[in-house]
Structure 1
Amino acid sequence: MQGWRVEMEDAHTAILGLPYGLKQWSFFAVFDGHAGAKVSATCAEQLLQEIVSNDDFKGKLELKEGTEIQPSLEDVNKGIKTGFLQLDEKIRGMPEMVSGEDKSGSTAVCVIVSPQHVFFANCGDSRAVLSRGGKCHFTTCDHKPINPAEKERIQRAGGSVMIQRVNGSLAVSRALGDFEYKNVQGMGPCEQLVSPEPEISVEPRSDKDEFLVLACDGIWDVMSNDELCDFVRSRMRVTDSLEMICNMVVDTCLHKGSRDNMSIVIVAFEGAPRLSEEAVKQDQDLDAKIEAKIKEIIAQPDMAEADLPYIMHMLNEEMDGFPPGGGITSKRSTIESILKRLRPSTTEDEDRG
């Protein structure tokens, strides 16, 4: 979702079944671009191929039609890092980058799911979380300039951290692209002010695994790991549409005040919460109670034209049972719809105002 930004600079990837015989493997990624969309779009198109086709991932096999590979844990870890670094160098060589016409960059968070493991790779401040057994089990770490290790690298490269930004400008300390921060002579690609090196983690899969969430900072700026996991988990009981749940998350974050581009990918495992008739009925009952309470509020003297913030405040004060993690904000669209139906002329005036 573009949100309040002038341009949509995010990109994402979701691929079920990887090449070279890895039919039971999957790849998911979110890329949060800045200063343009070129790097994020290139990452979405090319990162997976750069990972699975390099020698560290596949070994010395010559890749051709029908080739099947069996990478070890070490192969995958090394291959992911090599793929990131190779892609960064490839982007650096693009004509618009060489000329300086394009100065864009992008964070990247990706997950490779194999039959036995989940591999996380993060570069920047997009984030992935794994929900297991009813709670947030694992999360990637954001790469911010104020992190001690990141700050130390920036300073060794001759840079500084001001107002929590690299040289007072860039809000992330690792990214692909951003080549104006990668020109320190005598230092390797992972020693520059901004590093393209991913932080890689591996989690063995479990029967208790519920779902993965990958999202850019437009989501995480307004929802914590636990809040988002709780909200997604609760919504899985009222709908089996992951697309609808993604839309609910984005709407909730927009209503919570996020002004950034927003991208989210949800991956459900076999252990994910199932659609529940009881949960669906509870959600329907909640909507009915919200409507009854709104009718009660606007029927009071001087309350016929009460505005949306006041009505939401009253509902929050007098009701409970709102979706975990989302609270009353996650029901704002429902509340707006009820108000528009109950007093269409007033709501239209509010929309125009």
Structure 2
Amino acid sequence: MGAFLDKPKTEKHTAHGAGNGLRYGLSSMQGWRVEMEDAHTAVVGLPHGLDDWSFFAVYDGHAGSRVANYCSQHLLEHIVTGSDGFRGDGGGGGGEGGGEGGNEPPSVEGVKSGIRSGFLRIDERMRGCLADAASGPLDRSGSTAVAVLLSPEHLYFINCGDSRAVLCRAGAVGFSTLDHKPCDPRERERIQNAGGSVMIQRVNGSLAVSRALGDYDYKCVDGKGPTEQLVSPEPEVFEIPRTPEDEFVVLACDGIWDVMSNEELCQFVRSRLQVWNDLERVCNAVVDTCLHKGSRDNMSVVLVCFPNCPKVSEEAVKKEEELDKYLDSRVEEMMETSGEESPPDLAHVMRNLSTENIPDLPPGGGLASKRSVIEAAYRRLNPQREEDGNGGDLDDTW
């Protein structure tokens, strides 16, 4: 279930890029966990002639990071080479969607087949290569995987586990993947058919996800195929035609979804895109806000923006500046009225502000998304204040 630090690690890994009419940004943070077990993939332009295709993924590791890291480096290649039909090259035997001479693009069913085959192939591959002499006994780590594969005409949403992808279309949630939890009736049936049980909402009372890559302790039931085990590596794949109304896709691990709903995250991202053009900054705001909302897990988010995504608005920027000035003035008022001998700590300031009806807070993020502004004002007005030994002044949620 994971152990926790006394104070969160808030350093971030970030990246951004563009191509194929897309822009993307990403951010990940270790947070309160003792180890960073998340990984990600971001590729614009795929191999094997799929130059106008792109692939983005988030992997949420558990019981170690080896499976998540391996998948971030190798899953895409296993998918693209998973079936002849995916490549649309005829495959020597006329695979699904494969045109003669390789002139036709892959068919929808060919792509779906390649994705599923790729997941099963990499899972079997890792079973052997992660248990070599150098690593000792069988690696017990596992990882969820959530991804979006973009062709010029389609979005392929891919999910295995409880990370999640959400499409924002025309200003609202247009699609989201389904979490694979042991309590889901379909998942429970497979688990029980494999001789397992669901206790305290976990597989055999231990694992909180019912589909994942790795986790080989749950994939050793004799007489059962790979998709019939206690934990299945088979992804669900959803194909959606692209439209001009598509704004952005968010991929995130459950450290994000634990504290934000689909609608909240979409509205928060939309509001930030109207204030900042920097996608890394938008992603950083997501993970910081989720930390301040109380997430105790690793946090990773990938944001993929289409041409129709919200643009920076002068009106939105002005409102943001006015909000920041208002919060700064409110902190100053609290410090002045408290008396010089016993100024309030930051947690007290945050709690007081949370009871007020403050206009124009970012939707979905609320006051938690403005904590950095409040912290800056607090430190400026009270520079002598030291954090307590547990980081409580600056790191406790409220």
Q: TM-score, normalised by structure 1?
A: 0.95
1:200-349 paired onto structure 2 within 5 Å: 200-302=237-339, 305-318=343-356, 319-348=358-387
Shift of 1:54: 2.3
Alignment of 1:1-353 (within 5 A): 1-55=29-83, 56-58=85-87, 60-61=90-91, 70-96=105-131, 100-302=137-339, 305-318=343-356, 319-348=358-387, 351=391
The alpha carbon displacement at 1:24 in A equals 1.2
Counterpart CA distance in 1 for 2:132 and 2:308 is: 45
Contact 2:332 2:377 in 1 (8 A): no
Q: 1:352 to 1:208 in 2, by over 3 A?
A: closer
**Which 5+ residue runs of structure 2 have no aligned equivalent?**
1-28, 93-100, 394-398
CA distance in 1 between counterparts of 2:253 and 2:103 reads 33
Counterpart CA distance in 1 for 2:384 and 2:53 is 53
In the TM superposition, residue 352 of structure 1 has moved relative to its aligned partner by: 7.7
- The 3 A distance-change label for structure 1 pair 93 and 69 is farther
1:239 match: secondary structure: coil
Q: Percent identity?
A: 58
How far apart are residue 308 of structure 1 and its match?
1.9
Q: For 2:121 and 2:276, locate their aligned partners in 1 and report how far apart those are by CA, in whole Å.
A: 41
Letter in 1 for 2:125: K
Q: Quick one: which amino acid aligns to residue 163 of structure 1?
A: I
Paired letter, 2:225: G
Question: Is the Cα–Cα contact under 8 Å of residues 322 and 328 in structure 1 kept in the other structure?
Answer: yes
Instruction: State whether residues 197 and 205 of structure 2, in contact with CA within 8 Å, keep that contact through their aligned partners in structure 1.
Output: yes
Distance 1:301 1:197, change over 3 A: closer
Which moves more between the two structures, 342-351 or 160-169?
342-351
RMSD of aligned residue pairs (Cα, Å): 1.9
Q: Give the secondary structure class of the aligned counterpart of 1:300.
A: helix
Whether the 8 Å CA contact 1:14–1:27 is kept in 2: the answer is yes
Deviations 1:93-132 (A, max 9, x none): 1152796341111000011011111000100001000000
Contact 1:20 1:69 in 2 (8 A): no
Code of the residue aligned with 1:305 in structure 2: it is P
Distance 2:132 2:187 in 1: 25
Once residues 298 and 54 of structure 2 are traced to their aligned partners in structure 1, the CA distance between those partners, rounded to angstroms, is 25
- SS of the residue corresponding to residue 344 of structure 1 reads coil
Aligned residues between the structures: 350
**CA spacing shift, 1:67–1:100, aligned 2, 3 Å:** farther
> Which shifted more, 306-315 or 248-257?
306-315
> CA offsets per residue over residues 251-302 of structure 1, 9 Å max, x none?
0111111111111100000110001121111101100011111111221144
One-letter code of the match for 2:48? Y
> Helix, strand or coil for the counterpart of 2:308?
coil
- Structure 1 stretches of 4+ with a deviation exceeding 4 A read 66-69, 301-304, 347-353
Amino acid corresponding to residue 173 of structure 2 in structure 1? C
Determine which structure has the larger helix proportion and give its number.
1
Change (3 A) 1:118 1:279: same
Distance, in Å, in 2 between the alignment partners of 1:275 and 1:107 is 34
- Answer with 132-141 or 49-58: which moved more: 49-58
Shift of the alpha carbon at 1:313?
2.7
Match of 1:79, as an amino acid? Answer: G
The AA in structure 1 aligned to 2:87 is K
Quick check: 2:37–2:65 contact (8 Å CA) kept in 1? yes
Deviation at 1:346, TM superposition (A): 2.1
Alignment-mate amino acid for residue 326 of structure 1: G
Change (3 A) 1:255 1:179: same
Q: Is the 8 A contact 1:22 1:69 kept in 2?
A: no
Q: What TM-score, normalized to structure 2?
A: 0.84
Conserved? CA contact 1:91–1:97, under 8 Å: no
